[in-house]
Amino acid sequence: MDKYEVLSEYFGYSSFREGQLNVIDSLLSGQDTLAVMPTGAGKSICFQVPALMFRGITIVVSPLISLMKDQVNALIQNGVKAAYLNSSLNEKQISLALTRARKGAYKIIYVAPERLNTHAFSALCDEVEISMVVVDEAHCVSQWGQDFRPNYLKIKDFVNRFSKRPVVCACTATATERVRRDIIELIGLLGPTVSILSFDRKNLYFEVVKPKNKPETLKQYLALYKGRSGIIYCSSRKTTDRLYEVLSAQGLSVTKYHAGLSAQERKQNQEEFVNDDKQIIVATNAFGMGIDKSNVSFVIHYNMPGDIESYYQEAGRAGRDGCSADCILMYNAGDIRTQRFFIENPSENEELSSLDAAKLRKLRLRKLDDMIGYAECTGCLRRYILSYFGERTAEKCGNCSSCRNDDNKESLNQYAKMILSCIVRTGQNVNSELITDILKGNVTSQVSEKGFDRLSTFGLMKNVPLAKVSEIINLLIRNGYIDSDGGRLRITEKSKSVLFSGKSVDFSARKARQNLSADDESESFDRDLFDILKKLRKEIASSKRIPAFTVFTDATLKIMSSKKPTNIKEFSEIPGVGEVKKDKYAALFIREIKAYELRTGFQSNADLPRKPKWNF
């Protein structure tokens, strides 16, 4: 098979994404390759397609157990013979996997870096043909990167041990020029092709907010994301635990993840999130690298991380399906103190000399300054990030809080003054719902009883959509212009300069995106059918004990819900449906689509066909 036939049969796509062909062709020609591609750009396809075309086995070095498991599960669902070797397996399971590998049972084997030089794995590599070695999350080799792993320094020796050297591919989503040089040198890439795809993720919206009351601000955001999957990052285990308790008490579908939990707790909580059993996960930076969950709609950093690389990698876990997603940074002075504490009190690293440790501390302080610069940025946030990675871009992206605020500043300033004035005139002792009723001109019992319908601010915003009035109130609260402790609204010292000194408000504002609980208007698919197919996907995944996205991604289900295939030929033309998945699932999904079309065509429940029983 050629590369297009492999792509179609195993992965269900008819064409490659931007940047993938350059990497694939380089590897197929036997050239070492460094691929720097943003999260969601399809890095895995870049080495998985060549791996299936090479004669021997491909070894993929990966830093996290969860990453290996998800990747291997997804490959097996696509009909690829794959396995992983890491500490989650006992000695008997590892021995069995090695025996199978010797018999040609696998094309791709994922391996933890510390296992590369073990006697058993070295013996395997001496007995079978290793065609390619892939270093995933390759930035981990550099102590100047954000996820330095000392065991990655042993990869170069592993590659050089072969009498017939395999082609080497290094992949990463975030790498500055300095880190890219380290990857080439420390992994030992020979005259590599360096393929750098744009770091820009156009579907991601970036926002920085400086709230006075973080828990209250977070609550307001989560109300916008009702029913959506998201990640909330915290800087410490203590904050993670506390926030998890708060959100659980609010009745939200939430779990948590940090290094202080037992291995079993981490495994269970991560699986609940990945499998959509829980909609939100509150976590430290111990969570997420390599998590292949495509339908994350928002990532909120409850605390500012220590560097741009970490922030962009973590924020980039949103919107991997290509749909619009939000990346929100909540920032205050306490975050700076926390990050400086972490830098001045690092965890012990025996691999670093005292001189290197001092250099690293100095570098991290400089990186922290760059991160603070982003948090304080008054210009385009996307431009700031891309410039950090050496990429030139336009002055305005149109999809960050700074750019939208510039576009909306005049009208929002006018509305903000109306809201602040109304709060003053009510005596600063009413909640946001009552303020909204007054501004909208709604004559409710409370409004008339208190005589608020006679205020000069009554009905001032009657022509402004209700959602926008509520949003601007929330923005004023988040940015310190309104104090909402106890639910009663009061103006602050900051807002007095707006009311009495003519100063303009200065805050970020969404433009035409007040409610993210609904899908993007640009997406055209049958949402009712989509929900039905998601339920079927969940039943299949649960029965097989695999993540739901390894059956089909949300993006594939949305196309399915739009095209509504009712025969095998139509089903096989849906992007993401390969030969194996077509054979496994076509009958189930086609039957459900037909049943849905029949139900929506009948007028009474008596005419509805019985729900078929699935045999997985």
Q: How far is 314 from 296, CA to CA, in rounded Å?
A: 11
Residue 507 has pLDDT above 70, yes or no: no
Please, which pLDDT band fits residue 160 given cuts at 50, 70 and 90? Answer: very high
The conformational region for residue 125 under phi > 0 = left, psi -120 to 50 = alpha, else beta, is alpha
Choosing from 196, 217, 245, the residue where a domain stops is 196
Q: What is the pLDDT of residue 265?
A: 92
- 550: CATH: 1.10.150.80
Give pLDDT, residue 328: 96
Looking at the fold, whether 274 and 328 belong to one and the same domain comes out as yes
Report how far residue 207's alpha carbon sits from residue 330's, in angstroms, rounded to the nearest whole number.
Answer: 9
Domain that holds residue 457: 401-500
CB 17 within 8 A of CB 575: no
519 occurs within a structural domain: no
Q: What is the dihedral of CA 177, 179, 184, 188, to 10 degrees?
A: 160
What's the rounded Cα separation, in Å, for the pair 150 and 141? 7
CB of 298 within 8 A of CB of 176?
Answer: no
Q: What is the mean pLDDT of residues 394-415?
A: 75
How does residue 605 score in pLDDT terms, banded at 50, 70 and 90? Answer: very low
91 vs 115: CA distance, rounded Å: 12
Among 388, 410, 425, identify where a domain stops.
Answer: 388
For residues 432 and 368, state if they share a domain. Answer: no
**513 and 294 Cβ atoms separated by less than 8 Å:** no
d(CA 270, CA 534): 20
Ranges 101-115, 141-155, 424-438: which has the least confidence = 141-155
Decide if 39 is inside a domain: yes
pLDDT, tens digit, for every residue of 38-91? 877 788 999 999 999 999 999 999 887 777 888 898 899 899 999 999 888 888
Whether 509 shows a pLDDT value over 50: the answer reads no
Asked if the structure places residue 613 within a domain, the reply is no
Domain annotation covers residue 520: no
Write the CB contacts of 143 (distance below 8 Å, at least 6 apart in sequence).
182, 351, 352, 356, 360
Beta strand 130-135 with 167-172: parallel, antiparallel or unpaired? parallel
In this prediction, residue 519 has a pLDDT band, given cuts at 50, 70 and 90, of: very low
Which range is least confidently modeled, 139-153, 454-468, 496-510?
Answer: 496-510
* Segment among 84-93, 426-435, 472-481, 515-524 with least mean pLDDT: 515-524
Residue 612 reports pLDDT greater than 60: no
pLDDT at 350 over 60: no
Q: What secondary structure does DSSP assign to 135-156, as a single string? A: ETTGGGG-TTSSS--GGGGGHH
The overall longest dimension of the chain from CA atoms, in Å, is: 89
What pLDDT score does 405 carry? Answer: 66
| 135 and 273 assigned to the same domain | no
**Per-residue pLDDT, 609:** 44
In this structure, what DSSP letter does residue 504 have?
P
What lies within 8 Å, CB to CB, of 421 at 6+ separation is 457, 499
CATH of the domain at 56: 3.40.50.300
Higher pLDDT: 219 or 511? It is: 219
What is each CA distance from 286 to 21, 143, 237, 258, 458, in whole angstroms?
A: 32, 17, 10, 6, 51
Contact (CB, 8 A) for 183 and 241: no
336 part of a folded domain: yes
Same domain, 355 and 413: no
Quote the number of domains for the chain: 4
Same domain, 346 and 298: yes
> For 156-165, 366-375, 463-472, which range has the lowest pLDDT when averaged over its residues?
463-472
Cα separation, 292 vs 506, in Å, equals: 37
**Could you tell me if residue 513 is inside a domain?**
no
CA dihedral for 419, 424, 427, 428, sign (positive or negative): positive
Q: What are phi and psi of 202, to 5 degrees?
A: -65, -20
383 pLDDT more than 90: yes
Parallel, antiparallel, or unpaired: how do β-strands 108-111 and 82-85 relate? parallel
Are 59 and 29 in the same domain?
yes
Question: Do 282 and 381 share a domain, yes or no?
Answer: yes
- Same domain (yes/no): 43, 161: yes
DSSP 561-610: HHH---SHHHHHTSTT--HHHHHHHHHHHHHHHHHHHHHHH-SSGGGPPP
Same domain for 483 and 572?
no
The mean pLDDT value for 551-578 works out to: 91
Mean pLDDT of the chain: 86
Q: Find the angle CA(334)-CA(344)-CA(137) to the nearest 5 degrees.
A: 90
Spatial distance between the Cα atoms of 254 and 262, rounded to a whole number of angstroms: 18
Quick check: 601 pLDDT over 70?
Answer: no
* Residues 121 and 96 sit within 8 Å (Cβ to Cβ): no
Percent of the residues in the chain that have a pLDDT greater than 70, as a whole number: 91
208 shares its domain with 351: yes
Instruction: Count other C-beta atoms under 10 Å from residue 429's C-beta.
Output: 10
Residues 64 and 178 in one domain: yes
pLDDT score of 351 more than 70 = no
Residue 518 lies in a domain: no
pLDDT tens-digit map of 283-332: 998 786 656 677 899 999 999 999 998 899 899 889 887 788 999 999 98
3-state secondary structure of 257: strand
Question: Are the beta carbons of 134 and 61 closer than 8 angstroms?
Answer: yes
CATH number at residue 484: 1.10.10.10
Q: Which of 54-58, 238-242, 412-416, 485-489 has the lowest mean pLDDT?
A: 485-489
Q: Is the pLDDT of residue 197 over 90?
A: no
Is 606 a residue whose pLDDT tops 80? no
Q: At which of 441, 465, 500 does a domain end?
A: 500
Give the C-alpha separation, 570 to 92, whole Å: 45
SS (H, E, C) 377-407: CCCCHHHHHHHHCCCCCCCCCCCEHHHHHHH
Does 140 have pLDDT greater than 70?
A: yes
3-state secondary structure 210-230: CCCCHHHHHHHHHHHCCCCEE
Q: Would 338 be classed as within a structural domain?
A: yes
Report the C-alpha gap between 227 and 10 in whole angstroms: 32
Q: How far apart are alpha carbons 453 and 422 in whole angstroms?
A: 11
pLDDT band at 438 (very low <50, low <70, confident <90, very high): very high
Ranking 380-389, 541-550, 559-568, 587-596 by mean pLDDT, the lowest is: 541-550
State the Cα angle at 82 between 76 and 87, rounded to 5°.
110
CA quadruple 162, 168, 172, 177: dihedral positive or negative? positive
- 587 & 548 share domain: yes
Using 50, 70 and 90 to split pLDDT, how confident is the model at 174? confident
